Amino acid sequence: MLREKLKLRIKKDKNISFSEYMEIILFDKDYGLYEKEPVLGKEGHFITSPLVSKHFSHCIAKNFIRVSNDEKINYILEFGAGNAKLARDLILYLKKKKCLPKRYYFLEKSSKLTKIQKKVVDALELGESVDFIWINKYEDLPSEAFIITNELFDCIPTEIIKHKNNLFHKAYVNDEFKISWQEYDLFSEIQAKYLSLPSELIDNYLFEFSPAQHDLISNISRYIDKAYLLIFDYGYSANELYINDRMNGTIACIKNHLSDFNPLEDIGEKDVSSFVNFSYLKNILEYNKWSSYAFMSQANYLLSYDILDDIDIENIGELTSIKKLIMPNQMGEIFKVLIAGKNIKNNSNKNFIKNDIMKL
């Protein structure tokens, strides 16, 4: 049914941009991947850090306590909360530490995941201790918040751009579900200046460009006056991203925990994402009057918040999970953390083991 819906959409305009294609296969309200069978966990397609260990969420909770004490921010806002495992473990830790937020906001576009999140929250039986609020419009955002995004930006629809003969071309999906290219004035798009592209690119070099990521940050900025923002995702700074070894771009797919690089096969049956350009996000944030505080590997963030102090060293399963989160050959290095703030007087950063903000 999804293929038929796509064909009708493509027939109308002869082709659709890759970002439009990605939006439909992932988020269509009837047939999109995130509205179908489970996406997260062992029974789904992939596992995220909150599912690996509760201690991931506990580190974020420690960060919230520090910010809450310094800035008196008592609202938490999570974008794309998935199955609410992060929210659950974070709230239980904060309850134990007697530092619960007044409100916990979820901004979620999937109706299926919203139902799952509400079920998880109800099971916490917190009564009126925390007001849990689901929103789907930017206008309903709180004016201040401690904001969490985990693996959000990688799945925001993106364009695929090709550089050839000193010109740019944009990818479209045609009615045969193949890529066609059209010449594209990339820098006519105001967002493109934030990409931090190198001055020279080799011929046939592919890269991603997501105006939707820009729009999300701009919309958040329009309605939120004061915030501390954590962005967890896999990706690189621009100078690490735009290298010749990545000339085929970074679009990646995963189905039943197996990866491939063809988003035009098994349509609607696998996740499609791209590596995040953290320089792009930093540039957009700073244009919108945010301050960038820190950029580091996930391992450095978790170790800075003492993830090793709370684990049961005799629990082999727990030790294995922590290793998966922090080891460089697993999730520790490829996953990064960008920390930013808006109208924060004290940036609430402790001494991180390593802060690579200068890379951006």
**CA distance from start to end of the chain:** 43
**Number of Cα atoms under 13 Å in the Cβ half of residue 216:** 21
Count the neighbouring beta carbons within 10 Å of the beta carbon of residue 109. 15
Please state, in angstroms and as integers, the Cα–Cα distance from residue 46 to each residue in 24, 49, 152, following that order. Answer: 20, 10, 14
Query: How high is the pLDDT of residue 350?
Result: 63
Residue 1 is predicted with a pLDDT of: 84
Q: What pLDDT was estimated at residue 349?
A: 60
Along the 360 residues of the chain, how does pLDDT read in single tens digits? 888 889 888 888 888 999 999 999 999 998 888 888 788 878 878 889 999 999 999 999 999 999 999 999 999 999 999 999 999 999 999 999 999 999 999 999 888 899 999 999 999 988 789 999 999 999 999 999 999 999 999 999 999 999 999 999 999 999 999 999 999 999 999 999 999 999 999 999 999 999 999 999 999 999 999 999 999 999 999 999 999 999 999 999 999 999 999 999 999 899 999 999 999 999 999 999 999 999 999 999 999 999 999 888 888 888 899 999 999 999 999 999 999 999 998 775 667 878 888 898
Q: 0.75 exceeded by the pTM? A: yes
With contact defined as beta carbons under 8 Å apart, do 81 and 346 qualify? Answer: no
Q: Which tokens belong to 329?
A: 């050959």
C-beta separation of 263 from 272 below 8 A: yes
Contact present, 186 and 205 (Cβ < 8 Å): no
Q: Show Cβ contacts of residue 155 under 8 Å, excluding neighbours closer than 6 positions.
A: 26, 80, 271, 272, 273
Position 312 scores a pLDDT of: 82
In the prediction, which pLDDT does 222 show?
Answer: 97
pLDDT of residue 299: 96
Domain count, the chain: 1
SS3 content of the chain, % helix, strand, coil (to 5): 40, 25, 35
In whole angstroms, give the CA distance from residue 32 to residue 346: 42
Considering only the C-alpha atoms of the chain, give the largest distance between any 2 of them, rounded to a whole number of Å. Answer: 63
What span, in angstroms and rounded, lies between the C-alpha atoms of 306 and 136? Answer: 34
pLDDT at 14: 85
- CA 83 to centroid of chain Cα atoms: 15
* Burial per residue of 287-304, b for 16 or more beta-carbon CB atoms within 10 angstroms, e otherwise: bbebebbbbbbbbbbbbb
What pLDDT does residue 311 have?
84
d(CA 90, CA 50): 10
| Range of the structural domain that residue 147 is part of | 2-359
CATH number, domain containing residue 324: 3.40.50.12710
> Would you state the pLDDT for residue 348?
56
User: In angstroms, how far is CA 170 from the centroid of its own chain?
Assistant: 23
